[in-house]
Structure 1
């Protein structure tokens, strides 16, 4: 996974896309990147580029306006103001043909990173904020609370849809990074629910190392829960072996792993391989070492449905603090040792 840690904002523009209007309200000036505005945008960008729902994508074949005009800017052939206006017009066209697309402010931002320049497209859906309102009646002051329906997401709130487009170069594995979170209140098959990726950006999501690693770990855990229900000893061995492989290997061969896990159980070995494959994973899974390190730092155990144990990796592997004792009948004892202090929460 290409993680981005160094972000510098070069320039940015905001446009208003009101679905109830006949035309988008297009800005004629770039944003004044004062310290407050710069910090506001930077925090959003940092949050988005760290989001685990950030996906790799490639532009589809054929004519693509978003692709063409973004490349004009990234190759120094056009001004951000003109490029941003055309991007706003294109999104507004989709809004007018689909009433389910929410009105928004569209921010187009040029950034420099350690991996090169990018053009960011941030769809800032409005959030409902509240403020006070002062009225005077017969020289008496009245103060009420009134809603503001066109507030922008604060830097601590998540943006649902965005894209970061790279300059397209030969033999590039991906052209852009995309977040396209769906509204959970709507059915997945709602008309136009994938408009941002399919229609506006015109791209196709592809897997990256983080996606593959997450999906593999999820598939392995799901298989274990379904197939090893009354043998905590065996389940612990499977989970520990898989986590060890994730930390040690750059590439996991699913067939070899299954052989290691189920040496004398041909049916379980075949079933595991088939299940993992059915989740859309190849027989060789590239491992995102940075994600693994972050993910495995904390371990949360749900024990017999009514006990939660939450501890870090160091404590889990410290035999002086935590130990798993195998009883020989499929059950295990989990022993927390040498407790000197504890709190109730």
Structure 2
């Protein structure tokens, strides 16, 4: 789900949710979509960009009855149609917003979409909470034949976010019988900065969705690498340059491998048991040491593509991992006897010039 191919929005409906101003407009029919028009492209791009957003997290429903979970399952199974199911979801979100005046109003967009990279899955369900300007009457239209009311946004630059801007809150749910079983959806809540954050930002995932974040391959890879880099930085200061290079190469191989077991990774390293235990204990708290876990192949290769360094006075160095040994020739730490209190680094480059900040 995280790296979609071409996204195609098949059906879509929008409801206005502003209970604090008694503005609650439930659409009676879907938005008429035309293949290739700007509206279809707008939502398809938002879905694709949101799934690729680094802040997107896997999540799973925590309750199953009389909840968003039950509604979404019925919609994906075909037991509840888009209009009826989306209206129930809008009513649930309206109740949540009523209880918290600090939650901004907006619209709930509910859609079915497909992903060309997952042809075996016939459709996904998308839930997008979007903000609009206050004058919602401009968006309410009526079907000429049936008189049914529906909300259709006019895509003006100052009304809805552009395709380049990022949605604040959305969830993309797969059929409940699809694999893997650890999570049901990808969820993006840009007000929630980490999986441990608390506060108003959690109304979307907890109060509305009734879900909680889970680890997928991407998240496990991200957390492992964020622990490995500072751990290596400390170890490299305590061992010889040859051993430091050995450990760094082991990290690169591990992150580029199909899967990693932390105990198996640590066991052959020629470092002290105390140094190994520091990494083990840190990852144990994040439940990453009990079992081997799969490395996200795209993300893993991206992580080790470059190396980043920071020194005093905000000095920074970014260098390709493959070219590091050709550019950074020597690193001498501060002298233990106190005669030199700074690092001496020899950089070899065939070009050196001052440039305008990128």
**TM > 0.5:** yes
Note the C-alpha offset of 1:327. 5.5
Cα pair distance change 1:69/1:333, threshold 3 Å: same
Aligned counterparts of 2:97 and 2:113: Cα–Cα separation in 1: 26
1:325 to 324, 327, 330: 330
Gaps of 5+ in 1: 129-147
Where do residues 147-296 of structure 1 align in structure 2 (5 Å cutoff)? 151-169=159-177, 172-173=180-181, 174-182=183-191, 188-190=197-199, 192-225=200-233, 233=241, 237-247=246-256, 249-261=257-269, 263-283=270-290, 284-296=292-304
After superposing the two structures, state which structure 1 stretch, 68-77 or 286-295, moved more.
68-77
- Equivalent residue, structure 1, for 2:43: 41
Return the TM-score normalized by structure 1.
0.80
- Secondary structure of 2:229's aligned partner: helix
Q: 1:168 Cα deviation (Å)?
A: 1.1
- Taking structure 2 as the reference length, what is the TM-score of the superposition? 0.77
- 1:219–1:279: 8 Å Cα contact kept in structure 2? no
Distance verdict in 2 for CA 1:237–1:332, change over 3 Å: farther
Do 1:299 and 1:311's aligned partners in 2 also have CA atoms closer than 8 Å? yes
Residue aligned with 2:223, SS: helix
**Is the 2:2–2:52 Cα contact (8 Å) retained in structure 1?**
no
Using the alignment, how far apart are the partners of 2:244 and 2:25 within structure 1? Answer: 58
Distance 1:305 1:277, change over 3 A: farther
Q: Shift of the alpha carbon at 1:87?
A: 1.0
| Cross-structure match for 2:11 | 11
Q: Indicate if the aligned counterparts of 2:308 and 2:319 stay in contact, CA closer than 8 A.
A: yes
1:134 maps to what in 2?
none
Structure 1 stretch 272-281 or stretch 197-206: which is displaced more?
272-281
Q: 1:202 to 1:286 in 2, by over 3 A?
A: same
* 5+ residue gaps, structure 2: 135-155, 337-342
Give the 5 Å matches for 1:73-152. 73-113=75-115, 114-115=117-118, 116=121, 117-126=123-132, 151-152=159-160
Report the Cα offset of residue 56 of structure 1.
Answer: 1.8
Does residue 344 of the first structure (1) align with residue 351 of the second (2)?
A: no
- Return the alpha-carbon distance in structure 1 between the equivalents of residues 19 and 289 of structure 2: 42
Judge which range, 235-244 or 7-16, deviates more.
235-244
Conserved 8 A contact 1:254-1:285: no
Q: Which range is displaced more, 200-209 or 236-245? A: 236-245
In 1, are the aligned partners of 2:174 and 2:185 still within 8 Å (CA)?
A: yes
Partner of 2:53: 51
- Could you tell which deviates more after superposition, 82-91 or 235-244? 235-244
Mean Cα deviation higher: 168-177 or 234-243: 234-243
Residue 307 in structure 1 maps to residue 309 in structure 2: no
- Secondary structure (helix, strand or coil) at the match of 2:50 reads helix
Between the aligned partners of 1:86 and 1:302, the Cα distance in structure 2 is 51
Q: CA RMSD in A?
A: 3.1
- The 2-side partners of 1:258 and 1:300 are apart by 23
For 1:101 and 1:229, the matched residues in 2 are separated by 48
What residue is the counterpart of 1:71 in the other structure? 73
Whether the 8 Å contact between 1:104 and 1:126 is mirrored in structure 2 is yes
